[in-house]
Amino acid sequence: MPWIYLVLVVLVLVVGIGVVLVNRRSAGRGPAEVPSPHPTPEPPPPRSEAATPEVVEAPVAVIEVERPTFRSRMSKARNALAGTLLGIRSRGGITDETWDDLEEALLRADVGVRVTDDLLSGLRTKVKAKEITEPDQLLEALQAEMVERLETADRSLHFDDVPGGPNVWLFVGVNGVGKTTTIGKVGAQQAALGRTVLMAAGDTFRAAAVEQLGTWAERSGAEIVRGNEGGDPSAVIFDAIERATARHIDLVLGDTAGRLHTKTNLMEELRKVRRVAAKGAGRVTEVLLVVDATTGQNGLAQAREFGDATEVTGVVLTKLDGSAKGGIVFAIETELGLPVKLVGLGESIGDLVEFDPDEFIEALVGQD
């Protein structure tokens, strides 16, 4: 059956041609891609040296408190004298009326009768000697005399670096002068200087004072020692010094209850606080009397009584920015011999500043 053989030959040829065609098409497409179960990510494009990121560490935040100027904050005191001083300058010469106006201006600023008499007496001598002939010269000489009376005092806050126990700074004064706030600000400033601070809430008769001091302690990272309400303030101060000694803390700031300087029993209690603070390892290197500048000459009586009771070493004059009676500085320093070390020129922490006689007098009577 020859036709069967012919059919087989045709089938073989057809299959062969089909295989050849399939192989040619496969060769044209390339080998089939087999998906990988773990595909490899494409490498990133090459980067130039300039494109390499620079690692910059975040800067450490430094909080700088701008110190206020006396002139910018003592406008109330300056304005109280501006009219009188302008009237003196407007005259053609130095007359009896000039002396009357000058005396009035100094007394209005609460410089005090004694200091005013001394200042004017020296100026009268210079006028008679023809060393001063014009009103402007007179006011310049007055400014120089006022600065000279204030520039010799030691206004540093004493801190003893000798090891062995903490320094103790006590704060005393009548009610409402700003003792607790002053302690908080001083504590924050000392902590910023790198000193470790412990605050002693010795005002045990006013719960708000303890809470307020606690808030300041948290702000400045200081420790605080509290006592029982109505308890013995000297015991609180003593415990604070003991704790500071055990923990090698540099400085103890002791708050005390505000008290009237005319109350004998309260002043005796303050004497006890002062005696107890000096016992043990602590060293009392400052006793700061806090005085409200707006009280004027009454602050002089306060300073005298507290000085006798606690051996005051210096004065903190608060609320100077709101007072027209800044001249109390002269009465405190010349009559009592107590240096004004710090003054409050506002409410923020940076507004409690070292007292600068030149800036103070320029702000009070300096010419524009």
List, in order, residues 6 or more apart from 27 with CB less than 8 Å away.
Answer: none
pLDDT, position 30: 44
- Give the residue-averaged pLDDT of 3-17: 50
Count CA within 13 A, CB hemisphere, residue 29. 8
- Of 8-12, 58-62, 276-280, where does mean pLDDT reach its minimum? 58-62
Query: Residue 338, exposed/middle/buried by CB under 10 A (0-12, 13-18, 19+)?
Result: buried
Say yes or no to pLDDT of 267 above 50: yes
Q: Which domains does the chain have, with CATH numbers?
A: 70-150 (1.20.120.140), 167-312 (3.40.50.300)
Lowest mean pLDDT among 19-23, 331-335, 339-343, 357-361: 19-23
58 pLDDT more than 70:
no
Structure tokens at 19: 């295989």
Q: Is the pLDDT score of 46 beyond 50?
A: no
Q: Is the pLDDT of residue 76 over 70?
A: yes
**Spatial contact of 180 and 255, defined as CB atoms under 8 Å apart:** yes
Mean pLDDT of 38-43: 42
**Average predicted confidence (pLDDT) for the chain:** 81
Closest by alpha carbon to 329, among 350, 344, 351? 344
pLDDT reported for residue 148: 93
Average pLDDT on 185-199 reads: 94
Give the pair of three-digit tokens for residue 205: 């008769």
- Least Cα distance to 100 among 89, 88, 91, 112 occurs for 88
84-106: per-residue pLDDT in tens? 888 898 888 999 999 999 999 99
Contacts 24+ apart (CB under 8 A), 132-139: 132/94, 133/93, 133/94, 134/93, 134/94, 135/88, 135/89, 135/90, 135/91, 135/93, 135/94, 135/98, 136/89, 136/367, 138/88, 138/94, 138/98, 138/102, 139/85, 139/88, 139/89, 139/365, 139/367
Name the residue with higher pLDDT: 59 or 207: 207
Of the chain, the percentage scoring pLDDT greater than 90 comes to 43
pTM of the predicted structure, to 2 decimals: 0.78
